[in-house]
Amino acid sequence: MKNKNPCALENLREDLRAGADSKRAAATQRYFKTGKGEYAEGDIFLGVAAPQTRAIVKKYWREISIADVKNILRSEIHEERTTALLILVKKFEKGDDIQRKEIFDLYLANTKHINNWDLVDLSAPKIIGAYLEDKDKNILLNLVESKNLWERRIAMLAVFRFIKNGDAAMALKIAEILISDKEDLIRKAVGWMLREIGKNCGQKIEEDFLRRHYRIMSRTTLRYAIERFDEQKRKYYLNLE
């Protein structure tokens, strides 16, 4: 897929830098835990506001090639990786079967660059989940066993697509594997998807899972999972021993 505009990549990067804001960048780096020893250590932000990023995606997604998208996906700049993933989502949604497979494969080959929770959350359900919706989903079980935090979160977030369509089977299987994960960002993701199961697939399905696993799940996971329950039921689960 060739660029309609051979200058698209250069222009896109120029537009991102034109939207840079040093004060926003400093605040965003703190928010996304980029300090030494934190989960996104060393990540670099320009401080581009989300609406500006989305406007740039809208401007360039048709013009830029998959090869150039891969280039910016591997950037050290967070907003460039964000832009790359949003463009991939757009191309995936508008693409044919061949293009969708190309984007799916590209995504899985570059998970080490999809390395913060916002990057995973904006892309995994819409690319990985969407592609696997009518296919064998067992590839997600390989990601779940990964030592890479972000690959495990990709697996957990990919199932959001299935959950929204009323299918909780793979989500429950992955949640059961990750229920004892030590990473806070995985615990939150598991609780979030359990909450969505209750919303989209039936609260009974969620509660059956909670009753089987409440003793081993973290309080973080439990609190996320029961967020939509009424107060009496929340207190019931929080007081179980």
Closest to 215 (Cα-Cα) out of 188, 179, 184: 179
What is the mean predicted confidence (pLDDT) over 219-239? 94
Predicted pLDDT at 1 = 46
Mean pLDDT of all residues in 104-112: 97
Q: Which two tokens stand for residue 99?
A: 């293009």
82 forms beta bridges with: none
The whole model's pTM is what?
0.94
The 10s digit of each residue's pLDDT in 174-204 is 999 999 999 999 999 999 999 999 999 999 9
Residue 241 scores a pLDDT above 70: no
Q: Which of 76, 70, 113 is nearest to 88 (CA)?
A: 70
Domain boundaries in the chain?
A: 1-114, 162-241
The mean pLDDT value for 119-130 works out to 98
Separation between Cα atoms, residue 91 and residue 127, nearest integer Å: 10
116 φψ region: left (φ > 0), alpha (ψ -120 to 50), beta (else): beta
Residues 206-227: what's their mean pLDDT?
95
- Looking at residue 4, what is its pLDDT? 62
Q: What mean pLDDT is reported for the chain?
A: 95
CATH class of 1-114: mainly alpha
pLDDT value at residue 86: 98
Amino acid 89: pLDDT: 98
* Percent of the chain topping pLDDT 90: 95
Contacts 24+ apart (CB under 8 A), 40-45: 40/115, 40/116, 43/76, 43/78, 43/115, 43/116, 44/76, 44/77, 44/78, 45/77, 45/78, 45/79
What was the pLDDT predicted at 6? Answer: 73
